[in-house]
Amino acid sequence: MTTIIQEKVRQAIDILQELNVDMWLTFVRETSAGGDPVLPLIYGHDLTWQSALLLCQSGERYALLGHFEADTAQRIEAYSHVIPYHEGISKPLIKVLEKINPATIAINYSEDDVLADGLTHGMYTLLLNYLDNTPWLDRIISAEEIIRALRGRKTPGETDRIRRAIELTDEIYNQTFEFIKPGVTEKQISSFMHDKLKELELDPAWDYNHCPTVNAGPSSPIGHVAPTDINIQRGQLVHFDFGVLNDNYCSDIQRVVYFLVSDENATPQPVQHGFDTIVHAIQSVVSGMKPGMTGKDVDKIARSVITDSGYPEYKYATGHQLGQLAHDGAGILGPLWERYGDTPNFVLEPGQVYTVEPGLMVPGYGYIGLEEDVLVTENGAEFLSAPQTELILL
């Protein structure tokens, strides 16, 4: 059976051919102590001794690694040549380079994309030492474009796994909406959702302590924060940010609930207006997204809806890529702020999965933030699950 690793290695070869890069070299060691973020895509296991995974435009695929890990590399069935060593990697590495004589060697460093910046400084200097007095020292380039494409362009198998993660997230949300009631604290809601994760044998999509994030009312801190002892009160909003990790792929979904007071038979106008504004922003983004657009242009769509409706702009990006990680690197749907570097200028491509998550505060009621997971297609974009378009009233 074809695995995700085999799919992604084949896809990497196609990308090398597209970009006209002769060789992509991933150079790692002791990855259990902090490995290259690309390793789960192209290898799927930890590596102990100095190891080199070489993918070539020609289609050749080499795994140079310690002899104790050769059997594992063979079983992956993604590498055409598994070359074990005993005392040192430099000689077998040079031998392969002599055979291929690549005009370009891409290695994993990047100023803008954290998930393309997996080569440590120590391993970089070590590699330069191994290549000293060889013609390949001057042929090194960044692998940023390769990794950006590889992570972003989800294969059908990857997209199916994300869809399943979203389905499981919706399942937990529905059970949570049946559980919550006035007087229940954010921490109690979090514990309930964590119990559901255990029942389904799932992991959270990010830090356990703030997955979920729960915000009950206007006093709850917004952001990547753990739930508090604040309890649900009628006449207030409850906001959730939650995702699961299932079969190595993530979901990332935000939902909003409003608790009616006893004499209310409709949502208060400020709450309804805020909710409708967020829904309009998300729908506008998804209907406007197309391959070839930059992330900053997509961000402008949502940000303009919010500010044109009289709300201050939110101080974060409209969305990020989603995959094996909740924040899956490369391009974002965001403004050209210093902290985002060049990533808002990256273009949308078919197969990419983004979150779309504008938000706003309704004074006296709480935070409204919705987050939907969206697939970029050849012709535009589509929701990967049914978006929340009606405010949940309890």
Residue 51's DSSP bridge partners are: 28
Residues 6+ apart with CB under 8 A from 265: none
* Position 108 confidence tier, pLDDT thresholds 50, 70, 90: very high
Q: H or E element: which one contains 303?
A: helix 295-308
Average pLDDT, integer, range 200-225: 94
Other Cβ atoms closer than 10 A to 294: 17
Q: What is the mean pLDDT of the chain?
A: 96
Q: CA–CA separation, 278 vs 358, rounded Å?
A: 6
Residues 6+ apart with CB under 8 A from 56: 13, 16, 22, 23, 24, 62, 100, 102
pLDDT at site 2: 62
Summarised one tens digit per residue, pLDDT across range 221-237 is: 988 889 999 999 999 99
Summarised one tens digit per residue, pLDDT across range 109-140 is: 999 999 999 999 999 999 999 999 999 999 99
Average pLDDT, integer, range 72-95: 96
Q: Is the pLDDT of residue 385 over 90?
A: no
Summarised one tens digit per residue, pLDDT across range 273-290 is: 999 999 999 999 999 999
Q: Which domains does the chain have, with CATH numbers?
A: 4-151 (3.40.350.10), 153-393 (3.90.230.10)
- Residue type present at position 149: A
Tokens read off for 28: 């790692």
Cα dihedral: 343, 345, 347, 351 (round 10): 20
Q: CA–CA separation, 376 vs 394, rounded Å?
A: 34
Q: CA–CA separation, 247 vs 71, rounded Å?
A: 24
Q: CA–CA separation, 224 vs 220, rounded Å?
A: 12
Identify the CA nearest to 348 among candidates 324, 323, 375, 327. Answer: 375
pLDDT at site 266: 86
> Looking at the whole model, is its pTM more than 0.75?
yes
Tokens read off for 34: 């902090």
Q: Is the pLDDT of residue 1 over 60?
A: no
Q: How do strand 105-107 and strand 81-85 relate by DSSP bridges?
A: unpaired
Q: Is the pLDDT of residue 66 over 80?
A: yes
CA 234 to chain centre: 35
- Residue type present at position 307: T
Counting other chains too, the contacts that 30-35 makes at CB distance below 8 Å and 24 or more residues apart are 35/118
Other Cβ atoms closer than 10 A to 252: 29
Q: Terminus-to-terminus CA distance in the chain, angstroms? A: 47
Q: Are 346 and 145 in contact (CB under 8 A)?
A: no
pLDDT at site 263: 85
Q: CA–CA separation, 120 vs 51, rounded Å?
A: 13
- Residue type present at position 272: Q
Summarised one tens digit per residue, pLDDT across range 149-183 is: 999 999 999 999 999 999 999 999 999 999 999 99
Q: How far is CA 290 from CA 28, 351, 375, in A?
A: 37, 11, 10
Residues 6+ apart with CB under 8 A from 31: 39, 46, 47, 48
Identify the CA nearest to 120 among candidates 36, 45, 25. Answer: 36
Tokens read off for 320: 């990020």
